[in-house]
Each structure stands twice: as C-alpha cells, then as structure tokens.
Amino acid sequence: MEHIEFLRNLIIETPSKPGNFAKVATAIGRLEGDIGDIQTIKVGTLSTIRDISIQCVSEEHLMKIVEAINEIGNGIKVHAVTDDVLQAHEGGKIHMKGRTEIRSLGDLRRVYTPGVASVCELIKNDPEQANYFTGISNSVAIVTDGTAILGLGNIGPVAGMPVMEGKSLLFDQFAGISGIPILLDTSDPDQVVETVKNIHKGFGGILLEDIGSPHCFEIEERLRAELPIPVMHDDQHGTAVVTLASVLSACRETGIDPAKSVVGQIGLGAAGLAISRMLMAYGVKELRGLDRNEEALERLLNYGGTVADSLEDLMNTCDIVIATTGVAGLIKPEMVRKGQIILALSNPNAEIKPEDALAAGAAFAADGRLVNNILGFPGIFRGALNAQARSITYPMLIAAALAIVESTKPGDLVPHPLDAIVHQRVAAAVERVANDEKSN
C-alpha cells in the first residue's frame, strides 16, 4: 500500500577501521530507522565518508538517530542531513518528448504539414486507425481530485501532482505507457464523470488515483459503465490485486487453502472493500468484515460479505486476517489465534507488528511495507491496452495476482517491485484473459 515515508540522507564519517560502520548501523537499527541506499563518497587513509539514506517516521525520530550516531564517539560523526527527495523532484519528474526527430524539411512535411492531413483523412474515414497512427492507444490519463493523497488526506490536486508524476514514471519504465496526469478542481461526482467523459477520446485508458471514499465508488462505477475504454481506481483494485497475491503467497507458505478459509477484513474503506471483493471473486466462500462506518458495512453486505460482531469476534473466527484501518496497534497479541495468517497493511505503523503476531502464534504475518501497487497497475494496463480491452474485469485482475505469485520466490511475500520481468508477466497474463473474454 502507498504510504508516507520520511526520507533523509545522512553524510556520515567513520574511521577507516573494521566494525565502525556496523556501530552506525546498530545505532540506527536500535531506534527502528530503516537504512536504504548507501553510497561511499570518499575513502581516505584515516576515515570513510558515506551518504546513507534513512527512512524514519518523523523529524523528531530522525534527530534521535543523528544524536545516537554522534554519541558513538571514536571519530564517528554525522556531517550533514540532506533531502534528496526534494532534489529529485526539482523541475518535476516527467517531460513530454517526441518519438520522431525533425531534422529536415522532408521530416517536417511527413510529420506535420502537409503530410499529416492525409493521416487525418484516414482516421476521419476509419476512426479505428487512430489506434495505429496516433499515441492514443498507448496513453493513460491519471486522474485525481486530490482528496486522498497517500496518508495526507484531502490536500488538493496540485499538492498531489508529485504522486501523479510518479505514477507516470512507473507507467513509462515498466510498461512503456504514456501516463498523463489530469488534475481536477472538483470532487463532485457528476462533474468528475462529465469531465473524464469529455476528454476520454484522447486516451486508451483511465487510471483513477487518490480519490477519496465514498465518492470514489460512484465515480468509478459510472465511468466503467459509460466509457468504452478500461477504467480502474488504483487505490481499490491495484491494492486488491497485490493483496490477493500476498494472501496466496502466505497460503502457499503455510499450506492453508484460501478457498476453504474464513477471511476477515478489518477496515472497509476504498482498499478494504476492494480487497474483500477481490477475495470473493477469487473464490473465498466466507468473508467477514468490520468497520465503524455503516455505509461501508452495507456495501460489504451488498457485495456478498458478512459483518463481524466485533474485532474480537472477527479475530476468533477467521483463518486469514487483513487489516487496512490506519490504526496502529489495533490488534492485540492476545487476540491472535494460533495458526492464523495476519496481514496488517497500514503504514507506516501496522495494526500489529509481524514479530508480535508470530510470537503470539500466527503461522504467517506481514505488514504493508512490501504490498505496493507498483506490482499491479503498469502490467494490468499494458495487458489491457495490448488486447484493446473495453474494460478491466475481475478475471483479468485475478490473472495479474496469479502472475505476481508465480514470480514470488519461496519465503517472500511478493517479488521485488523493480523486477521488470514481473511486470511483463502481469501484462501477458492480463492480455491473455482479455483476449479470451473478447473471443467468448
């Protein structure tokens, strides 16, 4: 799941003696900081300077880590704290670039005037030719109203632009798709639907992104019904695909049959409801849900799920438990039933730490750090666009999840998100199902 991470880089000097960097890593680990990339800047006779990426939960947490490193002594010290995240966003992360260079008047005549007129005539007489002679069929609109940006909430579409640019980068790198951010200055479902309908002819698909609940449900349902191109709300179905893959990987590790298990879903927001629907579409016979919102519970009942009496009731009766509440520590160790699979997916702090769940008797436990939508949406849209599908269906999404599972090494929850082969397999699986659906 997408989440907020407080990332900073520390420039750290250590004496050039074995074991000194281990002391730094230990100090960071004791305070539950997460070390990312490490770059050696300088190796001297007496000391080594490294640029170390650190993931924290807050500025205060970071300062405690810096203080702990400086307190090691023996010449170990933090020289600077830098913000490589802001630097990476300077000027934006995307740029529209042509695929054809214009170096001569002949080039100009072919790609623009007068040659382009003949292509326009061709498409006018046969609109399907636009799939071959324009970039429409390889473009996806990334649409947001900015009402549910990561864990920041309703911060507006412009503040959400860095996320949309990030999605565009991922589309390009992992699926060769042109992702175009579309920022909407309205959250009214009627206006959102009408706007997307009015611009859809320029795109091969629509990715709805960071649109809040409950209006996200109406917007997606209406657009799916009214547009002839694939529409997917990533916070719902992208999350659900990767969660299904995670559940199946956990079941493979533990020998549990998901189809014969009772599954509990704690939290029925956009992600939680979509996960519930995905699991039932896969074949889970009994899914029990829990949420404080009565409308969310009604939605679950309409989709075929049942409502648990309480958190304790859900934990006591379910073989697989998934939590997407955003409430850290919600699940107490004494609630864990021996042999359960527990996926506490809220970030940055899970409903229960995996180590605590395992200590309490869970057969398998994980948090949301690895459950990242990046494993799903690029390949899903690549496959759908390749097949010229008119919609994204549950069989296509389940195929994507199974492709992720097939790419997961034993002992892992999901594959590495930067593994290009995973995205290729997801795309191929989705395309096969889409083509089968068209032929039936």
Q: How far is CA 60 from CA 6, 66, 67, in A?
A: 11, 10, 11
- 167 annotated active-site: yes
- 124 annotated active-site: no
Residue written as tokens 């632009």? Answer: 161
Structure tokens at 378: 């690029």
Residue written as tokens 């900081």? Answer: 33
CATH topology of 106-229 equal to that of 236-440?
A: yes
The SS3 assignment for 182 reads: strand
The SS3 assignment for 321 reads: strand
Q: Give me the helices (H) in 152-293, please.
A: 161-175, 189-199, 215-226, 239-254, 270-282
In this prediction, residue 153 carries a pLDDT of 87
CATH for 236-440 (3.40.50.410, 3.90.650.10, 3.40.50.720, 1.10.10.10): 3.40.50.720
H helix count then E strand count, the chain: 17, 14
From the candidates 42, 64, 93, 112, give the one annotated as an active-site residue. Answer: 112
In this prediction, residue 338 carries a pLDDT of 94
User: Which CATH code is given to the segment(s) 106-229?
Assistant: 3.40.50.10380
296-311: pLDDT as tens digits:
999 999 999 999 999 9
Q: How far is CA 386 from CA 201, 230, 414, in A?
A: 17, 12, 25
Q: Give me the helices (H) in 50-145, please.
A: 59-70, 84-89, 105-111, 116-125, 130-133
Q: What backbone phi and psi angles, to 5 degrees, belong to 112? A: -130, -120
Residue written as tokens 């309480």? Answer: 310
In this prediction, residue 4 carries a pLDDT of 52
CATH topology of domain 6-89: Alpha-Beta Plaits (3.30.70)
Q: Which amino acid type is present at position 270?
A: A
Instruction: Report CA dihedral (398, 401, 407, 408) to the nearest 10 degrees.
Output: -130
Q: What is the pLDDT along the chain (440 residues), one digit of tens a residue?
A: 554 567 899 999 999 888 999 999 999 999 988 898 999 988 888 899 999 999 888 889 999 999 999 999 889 999 989 888 888 888 888 888 888 899 999 989 999 989 999 999 999 999 999 999 999 999 999 999 999 988 788 999 999 999 999 999 999 999 999 999 999 999 999 999 999 999 999 999 999 999 998 999 999 999 999 999 999 999 999 999 999 999 999 999 999 999 899 999 999 999 999 999 999 999 999 999 999 999 999 999 999 999 999 999 999 999 999 999 989 899 999 999 999 999 999 877 899 999 999 999 999 999 988 888 999 999 999 999 999 999 999 999 999 999 999 999 988 999 999 999 999 999 999 999 999 998 87
In this prediction, residue 94 carries a pLDDT of 87
Domain locations along the chain: 6-89, 106-229, 236-440
In this prediction, residue 43 carries a pLDDT of 86
Question: What is the CA angle 198-200-204, rounded to 5?
Answer: 175
**How far is Cα 76 from Cα 48, in angstroms, rounded to an integer?**
10
